[in-house]
Structure 1
């Protein structure tokens, strides 16, 4: 059998206290067989999930009970230096704080399609990694 290009599943951790947001993202990404969605309802849970099952990409909400999104981002980057973190918030204004904590991008929740497109591009570029 000759060499083939193997795709590697992109592991995406969605961190949001709203179950409907997590379910919507999971549903929107379910058509892409190259994406596995992991979920956490808050920062503390995200750290536990990431330690047990390291994601390639984390999508983090800003306003959550307990640990906020900026702190969650900082802690995820400390735990897993190679994880890419993107912010996914309801209101603009936290971009600088997220960037300082290690996030590479910021998406607004009213633009689900932009985030899904970004994740799909990441999954497509994950081939052979």
Structure 2
């Protein structure tokens, strides 16, 4: 069975581009979600090997989705792939349980991270204290995060 990758991004164009990229570099089963809420539902139903989340999505942003996924599926690595990359976002996202944050301009880093996650044995994610993961997408985007 090929490794399963869940791509959650509100851009259908980006999801299609990543699907095409992964089909060129290996044999992967790709699942897609447009919102954070849809990503949580699909992850629970399909148990992917890796989850790629956008930071800013409708219904439930990437940070909120990460918090839910960490509680329900702590063993699945989550990677945040975003155009809103900042050191502050990295800290908040990693505090919420994201294993790696990668800028959307760094496609090679995304490929390397996915290959790294798929080659290492699954391990439960570390739980962060609740106070370290209270920032919302808007807080981080506007520099108001307390994480």
TM-score, length-scaled by structure 1: 0.84
Equivalent in the alignment of 1:16: 9
Equivalent in the alignment of 2:107: 112
Q: How many residue pairs end up in the alignment?
A: 119
**In 2, Cα distance between the equivalents of 1:24 and 1:34?**
16
Structure 2 regions of 5+ residues with no counterpart?
Answer: 122-147
C-alpha spacing 1:126/1:99, structure 2 compared with 1 (3 Å): closer
**Aligned mate of 2:81, from 75, 81, 88:** 88
Equivalent in the alignment of 2:97: 102
Counterpart secondary structure, 2:106: helix
> Greater share of strand residues, 1 or 2?
1
**Aligned mate of 1:48, from 36, 41, 44:** 41
Is the Cα contact below 8 Å between 1:10 and 1:126 reproduced in 2?
A: no
Cα RMSD for the two superposed structures: 1.7
Is the aligned partner of 1:71 residue 2:75? no
Query: Which fold has the larger relative contact order, with Cα–Cα distance below 8 Å and residues 6 or more apart in sequence?
Result: 1
